[in-house]
Amino acid sequence: MAVTANDITDAAYRKIGLLQPVSADDTNALFALNNILSQWGAEGIVTAKVDVATTLTASTREYTIGSGGDIDTVRPLAIDQAYIRVDTTDYGLKIVSGKQIGSILSKQVEGRPSSVALLSEYPLAKLVFDCPPDTAYAVYFTFHNPVTRLALITTDVDMPEPVYEALIYNLAIRLAEDKSIALPRSVYEIAAQSKALCHRLFALNRPAVKSAFTEVSAILGASSDAGIHWES
């Protein structure tokens, strides 16, 4: 059975004792749910994998990526994998950090790139290779992209099963805060545990996000950071 945004928001409202949310409640809950999905996308919990192929320009090692960029596509959150294809042979590209790509000394020596970094600049991100390509190589990427915002309360939400409970309990905390409703400790505990499970199962290979505030830490005194690691 398809799960809609309304199924999630109604379940979250039940956790805070509101059994019959009105239209204004649904509007607020949908906005909060989209914000959670956006935040969790940045943390790498909820993303969409998308394959993108492009052709490099000889002697050019930096490319903007995003709507209207050199690579005109959705601005990605991270690179899952990448490789260069020469005839029928694929050469994997190592995914490195911006710091690593910036530390390369021989940036102007042309050749076949062996590594690439995604720099999260805004509004366009940037792909930087370790060297300028010596020819117009074909490159294939698999990106982690943000999930499209849910347009309507009736929109289907297609997520891995463990994500639903995490969304419901974490959304309940935000909705309760909006209405100044005190919640039992168990809601915060389940919210933290279910989100941590999603981190372990689905999060990208990146470090824990250091945040001054989380919904759970304010109540439990425990960080919601999970073991995610950037490529080093």
Q: How far apart are CA 228 and CA 43, in angstroms?
A: 9
Q: How far apart are CA 77 and CA 146, in angstroms?
A: 7
Q: How far apart are CA 198 and CA 46, in angstroms?
A: 9
What are the phi and psi torsion angles at 110 (to 5°)? -75, 150
The confidence score (pLDDT) of residue 102 equals 87
**All structural domains of the chain with their residue ranges:** 5-45+148-220, 48-146
pLDDT in tens, the chain (232 residues): 589 999 999 999 999 999 999 999 999 999 999 999 999 998 888 998 999 999 999 999 999 999 999 999 999 999 999 999 999 999 999 999 999 998 887 778 999 999 999 999 999 999 999 999 999 999 999 999 999 999 999 999 999 899 999 999 999 999 999 999 999 999 999 999 999 999 998 876 554 444 433 444 444 444 333 332 223 2
